[in-house]
Structure 1
Amino acid sequence: MPICRWFIWMIAAAVLASGGAAEAKSYPPLFGTKEIGSANWNFKKGVVPEWRGMLGRWKSGAPCESKICTSKNWAALVSQVKGAGDPMAQIKAANALMNKNPYIEDQNNWGKTEFWATSYEYLKKSGDCEDYSIAKYMLLKEAGIPIENMRIFSVRVRSLGGIGHAILVVYQGNKAWVLDNRTPSVMDASLIKLEFQPVMSLNENQWWYHLPGK
């Protein structure tokens, strides 16, 4: 399964430009890191404006039908996830449904090195790692999973030489679960903590910068 290449230096630049910290949700930091949280969204480059730009185009799920987006099958996907059963079953269903789409690099899809697609843009044109993660996040949000229980993580994959990647992490049942486009399984984060080196994570409430732990 292909893995996308994130511009990690853009994340670092955003963090250096940030001001003020916000208290993170009381979950233990993942993958052995320390977290610095912030609700300062005033950045012009990097991950934060990509995320905010995507949310602006998403318009809280307002219908979309054009050459680059479609909301045609979204309600059916939400219904499938809601009908899967308990929250853990819903998480597994969202991961499986979104992972069916083909992996396409942003350059090939959008003519630029980095583009964060809305779920409707993803349904129309598919996408790369952060696009899978966004679609799963929005699908689970629609199914009733609280946004404070979810984060999209920018990580380096240690087993692949530190290449940049994106995953969705969902907190459920006192555990953190990793949803990755490279695998059909939903994984217990504590069992793969050496695989990922987090750089930054975010949801609609705030973002977190991750520092190496002890």
Structure 2
Amino acid sequence: MKLSSLVFRRRLRRCLMPAVLLLAGLCVAAASLPTERSAARYGPRAVALYREWNQLLGKLQSVDERQKLAEVNQFFNRRILYREDIDNWGVQDYWATPLEMFGKGAGDCEDFSIGKYISLLVLGVSPDKLRITYVKARIGGPDSAISQAHMVLAYYPTPSAEPLILDSLVTSIEPASQRADLQPVFSFNAQGLWVGNRSSNVSKLTRWRQVMDKMKNEGFTF
């Protein structure tokens, strides 16, 4: 029995709609922010920064990835003060969620990197392209033998590409080859942990597991 063109199109839409809705739901569920109520737990400063952040991410949904990188990097580097954990939290090492950082209006290198990482996930950047990277940062010039622990976010346009480095202490986003002051030690994201070419289970990185759990409790999905 032949179907009219109109009937066929209607039946096709009915068949395809559940799949379309499922795919849309998967895209939305991939990464999303908590509600403003979660930010309110950390005070009025957190709410104000959350609103700015949420508005920025909404504006950037349809732009290309390079612009997403640039504007997310700029937001955190301009709107958040750099402050060491001992001054911010009274302890030597504390990994804050973005909302905790907003509450203080300040953070250190890992807090900036985590905030940028989550922002780019919410903007639809594949987690495969993003790795928070622990480095030894040389200080005192190219001939200096002095280094200190530091953390940056690396973005890989393709799996084999040279990464771009988003740094809390440097305004511009530079290819890794132009950051000779940084020596990578290990990198990680929500999916894994890498030391050189060797991968490992990210659960071994206790502080990262703890901050991911805190973010999920605040309402983040990723």
1:166 equivalenced with 2:138 (yes/no): no
How is 1:1-214 mapped onto 2 (pairs within 5 angstroms)?
61-63=33-35, 64=38, 65-67=40-42, 70=47, 71-82=50-61, 85-100=63-78, 101-125=80-104, 126-160=106-140, 161-172=146-157, 174-192=161-179, 194-210=180-196
Q: Is the 8 A contact 2:162 2:176 kept in 1?
A: yes
- The CA RMSD measured in Å over matched residues stands at 2.1
**Aligned-partner residue type, residue 120 of structure 2:** L
**Aligned-partner residue type, residue 82 of structure 1:** Q
2-side partners of 1:89 and 1:116: how far apart?
A: 27
**Aligned-partner residue type, residue 156 of structure 1:** K
Partner of 2:219: none
Pairwise CA distance, 1:159: 3.6
Q: Is the 8 A contact 2:42 2:100 kept in 1?
A: no
Q: Is the 8 A contact 2:33 2:122 kept in 1?
A: no
Q: Is the 8 A contact 2:77 2:168 kept in 1?
A: yes
Deviations 1:113-171 (A, max 9, x none): 11111111122212001111111111111111111110011100124411110100011
Q: Is the 8 A contact 2:132 2:188 kept in 1?
A: yes
**Aligned-partner residue type, residue 172 of structure 2:** S
Pairwise CA distance, 1:60: 6.2
- SS state at 2:83 partner: coil
Q: Which has the higher contact order (CA 8 A, sep 6+)?
A: 1
Q: For the structure 1 residues 197 and 175, does the alpha-carbon distance in structure 2 shift closer, same or farther, using more than 3 Å as the test?
A: closer
The percentage of counterpart residues that share the same residue type is 30
**Aligned-partner residue type, residue 62 of structure 1:** P
Q: Is the 8 A contact 1:150 1:171 kept in 2?
A: yes
1-side partners of 2:92 and 2:51: how far apart?
A: 28
Q: For the structure 1 residues 95 and 195, does the alpha-carbon distance in structure 2 shift closer, same or farther, using more than 3 Å as the test?
A: same
Q: Highest CA radius of gyration, 1 or 2?
A: 2
2-side partners of 1:133 and 1:155: how far apart?
A: 12
Q: Is the 8 A contact 2:32 2:122 kept in 1?
A: no
More helix by share: 2
- SS state at 1:93 partner: helix
List, as ranges, runs of 4+ consecutive aligned residues in structure 1 with deviation greater than 4 Å.
none
**Aligned-partner residue type, residue 201 of structure 1:** S
Q: Is the 8 A contact 1:82 1:143 kept in 2?
A: yes
2-side partners of 1:88 and 1:196: how far apart?
A: 22
TM-score (ref. length: structure 2): 0.62
TM-score (ref. length: structure 1): 0.64
In structure 2, the gaps of 5 or more residues are: 1-30, 141-145, 198-222
